Amino acid sequence: MSQNMLDDIERVLYSEEDLQKIVQRVGKQISEDYQNKNLLLVSVLKGSVVFMADLMRAITVPCEVDFMSVSSYGSGTKTSGVVKITKDLDINLEGYDLLVVEDILDSGMTLSYILEMMRDRKPNSIKLCTLFDKPERRTVNVQADYVGGIVPDEFIVGYGLDYAQKYRNLPFVGILKPKVYGG
């Protein structure tokens, strides 16, 4: 890990150990809730890939996984409000109990669009799991069914979360110094 990447972090919010505890707690709850169901985890790329990889290993009931990629942020710090699907699901959702796995629930605009699109595909059920919730930024009515933690209205990176496609590989979640993104 390059030292200059660490120099861009103001402070660590969630250590590697904190993140492991979150994953175990959320995985246990999902396992209890999805007993005897047809669980399909859908990771919204790229941000949730690290969380998804750990979470699916913490889930003890049978499940399938699929991935979708959407674009709404570009390299900026605020959502553009326009959602573009860059990789759609490979699996037909009918008959599945769908759990959408996200890295962060921020404004909710992107997730609102994704959830509405998924409902139209007629899964048995649909729920939302987010590693982090940033309720101060919500602009639409979207609530997660599973939340790893609440984060302040700061720009966070690491453990899959990025700024301009960088910092995803940090093993912790930290607050990015405002000078990095011009905040």
Which residues participate in catalysis according to the annotation?
106
Q: Which helix (H) or strand (E) holds 133?
A: strand 125-133
Cis status of the peptide bond prior to 177, with omega within 30 of 0 = no
The separation between the first and the last C-alpha atoms of the chain, rounded to the nearest angstrom, is: 25
- Which residues, other chains included, contact 178 with Cβ-Cβ below 8 Å and sequence gap of 6+? 10, 155
Burial (CB count <10 Å: 0-12, 13-18, 19+), residue 137: middle
Handedness of CA 24, 27, 32, 33 (dihedral sign): positive
CA distance 112 to 126: 12
